[in-house]
Structure 1
């Protein structure tokens, strides 16, 4: 797959990985649709692109799942088609289970899981009609194994793997691809914007997050994985070893995580 002449829709495009993807892809001969809740931020990002006329802004909230069909119609109308949807929008969490109100778990599922699923299901008929398309889903290494302080986040990310693995199987006949991207630590504001037990923001950076890959490094690797149409890609530093420890030595992974200072 090549991004040239494609229409690519990116959610969570106002900051972090999403903003980095816009910066990378805007230098390629493709058209972009960028989405997040904050329209003003999206418009500012659009103006920094090489060809702003090839960038469309569609603001919406992933938690409002009943609006997805309208959101998809508006997106398709921007350039007449969509070739790739990069499901990047979402929120994280930093709180112990015993201290986390169930409303926080619900919000994580509503945004990270149900919002992404609802948007993808609304776009799916368009891909089927065109007999092509690619769903890219940004989950996390926490979608492959878990860590303390992230119970609701891990649950939502694990759920995305289950759903999109099934979608890939059901629609292989329609030439629809699914690439699941599992980031490790990336130096973004994800930790600062993570929810704590009462639903408010953590408002502080994790050392592990700060020491992670730069957004530029991560996006470069992610774009290559999408172009190769990989089923899954684990992108990070030594933390990606956790995927293989979980598969073959789960008790050993448990001990490593319990000894780590990661929060």
Structure 2
């Protein structure tokens, strides 16, 4: 019995969604198996994204080297990973204190990281310091601190670990950067500058180490939202038309940013697929990136107008 023509499109959409879901599940399972026994270093394992990364890679059987600025938080993460884990399927993580704001300590940190297993398969640089303030209010000391954490720290750690990858002619270096490494936004001058610098460094590095079989990946994401999604309003009717469902989905993505678990899974896929660049952003930031290249004067005018509106709003409050 043939389907009525009015039902063909909904059925096709449901079938496509089902195939996409199965595909993602298969890819996720394969990603887990591909990292087994790999030595994975996470530069900031105690952050929201770092903790999610630790759980994802630990579950996949990776040999983790977890870094962070606070020993108590590292031990707490260690306990959460090992308490319910099967020692036959997973490895107990190694813990290393790492503080990118103390660049002088990096030589000792690199030696300690490499000493854990003698080599590194995957280096994930996800440490970051954020700041929102007008340019004239930011001191040189703060500028330097942000550059240490967001640029000099990751680049120094990478340079220290790189020789082990070159000697083995394999490895994957991942920079978890920001969309602001490609698109500067007002009141983020120091942050955007540090992210632009990191983006440029790892873009150059990618070309230089390709001959050694080393993959360099950069992930540019929008803001990370670790808060819980708002509860559904009781009695609010769910959208019925597919156009309304799509519009609601886009609005939700624009409002809630990128969740740590989503970013962690994307990093796992990036490592296993050896993708060189990923932009994890919603439609508006993507459009802004194109405007920056094609009609920069228009984007500059929009950003300047946004600054004026923000200043006026502050004055009215």
- Could you say which TM-score interval applies, normalised by the shorter chain? 0.7 to 0.9
Structure 1 window deviating more from structure 2 (63-72 vs 139-148): it is 63-72
Matched position secondary structure for 1:94: coil
Preserved CA contact (<8 Å) 1:141 1:240: no
Q: Which has the higher contact order (CA 8 A, sep 6+)?
A: 1
1:84 is displaced (CA, Å) by 0.6
- The alpha-carbon distance between structure 1 residues 226 and 246, as it changes in their structure 2 partners (threshold 3 A), is farther
**Is the 2:219–2:277 contact (alpha carbons within 8 Å) kept by the matching residues of 1?**
yes
1:226 to 264, 271, 276: 271
C-alpha deviation, 1:212, in angstroms:
1.2
- Please name the residue that 1:93 is paired with: 131
CA contact (8 A) 1:6 1:84 kept: yes
**Helix, strand or coil at the partner of 2:94:** strand
Distance change >3 Å, CA 262–CA 176, structure 1 → 2? farther
Taking the aligned partners of 2:295 and 2:55, their CA distance within structure 1 comes to 39
2:73 & 2:294 partners in 1: Cα distance? 44
Match of 2:289 in 1: 243
CA contact under 8 A between 2:184 and 2:192: conserved in structure 1?
A: yes
2:200 aligns with 162
Following the alignment from structure 1 to structure 2, what is the Cα–Cα distance between the partners of residues 109 and 100?
13
CA distance in 2 between partners of 1:228 and 1:262 (Å): 42
1:154 and 1:32 map into 2 onto residues whose CA distance is: 30
TM-score by length of 2: 0.71
Per-residue deviation, residues 106-155 of structure 1 (Å, max 9, x unmatched): 11111111111111111111111111111101110000010011100111
Q: 2: CA distance between counterparts of 1:179 and 1:152?
A: 23
Distance 1:182 1:169 in 2: 18
Instruction: Give the C-alpha shift of residue 225 in structure 1.
Output: 2.0
Q: Does 1:123 align with 2:123?
A: no
- Specify every segment of 5 or more residues in structure 1 that has no aligned partner in the other structure, as ranges: 190-207
CA distance in 2, matches of 1:7, 1:142: 30
SS at match of 1:35: strand
**Please, which runs of 5 or more residues in structure 2 have no aligned partner?**
1-30, 228-252, 312-317
Conservation of the 8 A alpha-carbon contact between 1:13 and 1:19:
yes
Residue 59 of structure 2 aligns to a residue whose secondary structure is coil
Q: 2:94 aligns with which of 50, 56, 67?
A: 56
Residue in structure 2 matched with residue 134 of structure 1 by the alignment:
172
Q: Secondary structure at the match of 2:185?
A: coil
CA distance in 1, matches of 2:106, 2:168: 19
Q: Rate the CA distance shift 1:70–1:96 in 2: closer, same or farther, 3 A.
A: same
How many residue pairs get matched?
245
Secondary structure of 2:287's counterpart equals helix
Higher fraction of helix: 2
Separation (CA, whole Å) in 2 of partners of 1:230 and 1:53: 26
CA RMSD of aligned residues (A): 2.3
- SS of residue in 1 equivalent to 2:97: coil
Give, in angstroms, the shift of residue 249 of structure 1: 2.7
